[in-house]
Amino acid sequence: MRILVTGGAGYIGSHVAKALASAGHTPVVFDNLEMGHRWAVRWGPLIEGDLADASAARAALEGVEAVVHLAGYIFVGESVKAPSKYYRNNFVNSLNLLDAMRAAGVRDIVFSSTAAVYGAPEKVPIPEDSPKIPINPYGESKRFFEQALEWYGAAYGMRSLCLRYFNAAGADPDGETGEAHEPETHLIPLVIDAALGVRPPVGLFGTDYPTPDGTAIRDYIHVTDLARAHVLGIEYLRSGGASTALNVGTGSGHSVREIISVVEGISGLPVPVNIAPRREGDSPALVALALRAREALGWEPRHSSLEEIVRTALAWHRRMAKHPPR
């Protein structure tokens, strides 16, 4: 199948494109290259365009049978300071994609959602039917789009699978793509780069959380496992699966301090750390109840031990430090 992958030049998108190609599909990447990279588009054609441009979205759907929609801004902290940017890009511009799909008769969409739709949940691990009360505009922009998908489903017969990612991490085990955000705000690359001495000491945001070691807990999922969930998700929709939302996580949580000590152990390098206050918009703990994705998609994590996540990310960041991809 020819599958449109919006945001396919980004970190998760490039791994999704590789996974789709490995499964025999043609990933057609649609990306404005604001955050994505030309070098990360290796498994199918690139259409350079922006979802703000409704006619570009319509043109990109030529010959396409299904869509994976990942394009969007991703920084929780920035979204608190610039909500307009997040609502506009992640929600308003994404509606152009949905309307273009309606016009083209493309019904199936896998959407890149997030654990941030749950906000600061009372119950952890988090089941999919937990209350959706985002605590930052990023999470809310994703929640809005999930809701639009429900109503577009009811009114226009659109079929959707929302994958609520927990913390994507790690890199392609073959070293063909990996994480290269600028600015980088994610914990694991910052810890690795601090160990390698290519970035300053990492700030440890908050040591007073109600967790065993006082630092925040997240569910880290290897990006290759995450990518496979999209391939299975497309197959699920194409074989008549009902529209739904699924957590994509491992079900196990790790604290910030734990991440730092695993990076030190695997790299053999000390990680310089600065203790800092909590970051605005952050939840104390986000861990998936990860059973429904197994049931619905037959998906389970294969590469998501902390050891494999850190090993693949370390290999990628070592290479990036020496030979930045172009």
Do strands 159-165 and 167-169 pair parallel, antiparallel, or not at all (unpaired)? unpaired
Minimum distance between the CB of residue 239 and ligand UFG, rounded to whole angstroms? Answer: 29
3-state helix, strand, coil in the chain (%, to 5): 40, 20, 40
Q: Which of 73, 138, 152, 209 is catalytic?
A: 138
Does the annotation mark 209 as catalytic?
A: no
Selection from 48, 320, 38 nearest residue 179 by Cα = 320
Minimum distance between the CB of residue 74 and ligand UFG, rounded to whole angstroms? Answer: 5
User: Looking at beta carbons only, is 26 or 167 nearer to ligand UFG?
Assistant: 167
Q: Which residues does 230 contact at the CB level (< 8 Å), separation at least 6?
A: 16, 19, 20, 68, 110, 163
Q: Which residues of the shown chain bind ligand UFG in the complex (CB under 6 A)? A: 74, 76, 114-116, 166-167, 185-187, 190, 202-205, 216, 218, 256, 279, 282, 286
User: Looking at beta carbons only, is 6 or 26 nearer to ligand UFG?
Assistant: 6
User: Looking at beta carbons only, is 49 or 119 nearer to ligand UFG?
Assistant: 119
User: Looking at beta carbons only, is 101 or 180 nearer to ligand UFG?
Assistant: 180
Q: Which residue is nearest to ligand UFG (CB)?
A: 216
Minimum distance between the CB of residue 117 and ligand UFG, rounded to whole angstroms? Answer: 8
Q: Report which DSSP code applies to 174.
A: T
Cis peptide before 125 (omega within 30 of 0): yes
Minimum distance between the CB of residue 206 and ligand UFG, rounded to whole angstroms? Answer: 6
Q: Is 68 helix (H, G, I), strand (E, B) or coil?
A: strand
- Angle (nearest 5°) at CA 309 between 304 and 310: 150
**Hey, which residues are catalytic here?**
138
